[in-house]
């Protein structure tokens, strides 16, 4: 077999595996019943921690589920069953809910700690493909993640079964998130390093140019002074204020181009006569995300920042937001 034919065969096999795993997820979706809503309600009303446990590949899936829940509004952690049997059960309290993952429901290390969990008084959710197993029979709620066959050609390596568990865990986490009214703002607080976190936690006051860096002239200033102010501060814009320092308008490099193209004599005009009135503004407490939304909606490149009395106190340029990865 030449390499091209071999590549086609590999690609075909890959598609078959993906389709098989997709069908497994579709199958557990079709079998989903009120046990699922009961599990979500049990997790929503949990007054303690959500603890996920499992061995081997199921344990790795459990770690991912715990991480997803922790990042979407729930206090969740992963507990290795072998460690639990040797003292780490101390982290479990009677107000907790434990989710146990096992394809067969007969995982020795996991089932060994079930009686202890029962004595502690926790609620147990089983995620397994065997409803008659020891794990399922000792759980308060059992979620069926049974599959017909692993994607492994020998039906041995956990593949399709772990995909089913992962999908079920995602479904639990997202439904739980919605039940808790977990918002984008909440998400940002658990992801401060990510771009969304920066967009939803950074305020204008954290990123704006301020004080002498803000281009500003009075409405009586000449157009020459206006242009010098605008170009010297390098933002391509200048605020125009009245004698009380209250914002009257804005003058941008676009306004300047249009003024030049008009062919009219503008040198003797004042800033107040060439400015654009009622510019878009934000406050120091406006979030960076809101700034970006305004800039994109109105297709502008900068926003003036004003205090409660409409005195310009800062300026935000779209380049500042781009630099921050927003």
- 159-175 pLDDT per residue, tens: 999 999 999 999 999 99
Those residues with Cβ within 8 angstroms of residue 23's Cβ, 6 or more apart along the chain or in another chain: none
* Portions of the chain given CATH number 3.10.580.10: 201-323
pLDDT at 200: 65
- 234-274 pLDDT per residue, tens: 888 999 999 999 999 999 988 888 888 887 878 888 999 99
Identify the bridge partners of residue 77 per DSSP, sorted by sequence position.
Answer: 51
> Can you list the positions of beta strands (E) in 105-158?
123-128, 141-144
The secondary structure of residue 99, as a DSSP letter, is E
In this predicted structure, which of 86-90, 97-101, 186-190 has the lowest mean pLDDT?
Answer: 186-190
pLDDT at 81: 96
Domain 3-182: top CATH class: alpha beta
- 272-317 pLDDT per residue, tens: 999 999 999 999 988 888 888 898 899 888 999 999 999 999 999 8
With beta carbons less than 8 A apart as the criterion, state whether 198 and 288 touch: yes
pLDDT at 255: 86
Sign of CA dihedral 153, 154, 159, 165: positive
* Portions of the chain given CATH number 3.40.50.10490: 3-182
pLDDT at 195: 61
pLDDT at 158 over 80: yes
- Stated pTM of the model: 0.68
CA dist 23 and 317 (Å) reads 49
* 201-323 topology per CATH: CBS-domain (3.10.580)
């Amino acid at each position: 077999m030449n390499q091209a034919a071999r590549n086609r065969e590999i690609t075909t096999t890959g598609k078959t595996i993906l389709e098989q795993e997709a069908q497994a997820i579709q199958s557990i979706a079709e079998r989903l019943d009120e046990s699922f809503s009961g599990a979500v309600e049990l997790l929503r009303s949990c007054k303690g921690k959500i603890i996920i446990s499992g061995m081997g590949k199921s344990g790795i899936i459990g770690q991912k589920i715990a991480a997803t829940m922790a990042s979407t509004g729930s206090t969740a952690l992963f507990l290795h069953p072998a460690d639990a049997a040797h003292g780490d059960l101390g982290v479990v309290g009677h107000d907790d809910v434990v989710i146990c993952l096992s394809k067969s429901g007969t995982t020795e290390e996991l089932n060994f700690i079930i009686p202890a969990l029962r004595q502690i008084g926790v609620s147990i959710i089983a995620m397994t493909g065997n409803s008659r197993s020891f794990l399922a029979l000792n759980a308060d709620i059992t979620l069926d993640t049974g599959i017909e066959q692993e994607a492994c050609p020998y039906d041995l390596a956990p593949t399709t079964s772990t995909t089913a568990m992962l999908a079920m865990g995602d479904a639990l986490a997202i439904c739980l998130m919605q039940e808790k009214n977990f918002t984008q703002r909440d998400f940002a607080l658990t992801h401060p390093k990510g771009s969304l976190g920066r967009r939803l936690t950074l305020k204008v006051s954290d990123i704006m140019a301020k004080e002498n860096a803000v281009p500003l002239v009075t409405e009586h200033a000449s157009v020459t002074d206006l242009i010098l102010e605008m170009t010297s501060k390098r933002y391509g814009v200048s605020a125009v204020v009245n004698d009380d320092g209250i914002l009257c308008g804005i003058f941008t490099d676009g306004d300047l181009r249009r003024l030049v193209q008009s062919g009219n004599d503008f040198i003797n005009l004042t800033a107040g006569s060439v400015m654009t009135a009622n510019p878009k503004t934000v406050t120091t407490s406006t979030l960076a995300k809101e700034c970006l939304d305004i800039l994109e909606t109105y297709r502008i490149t900068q926003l003036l920042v004003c205090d409660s009395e409409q005195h310009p106190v800062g300026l935000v340029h779209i380049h500042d937001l781009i630099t921050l990865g927003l």
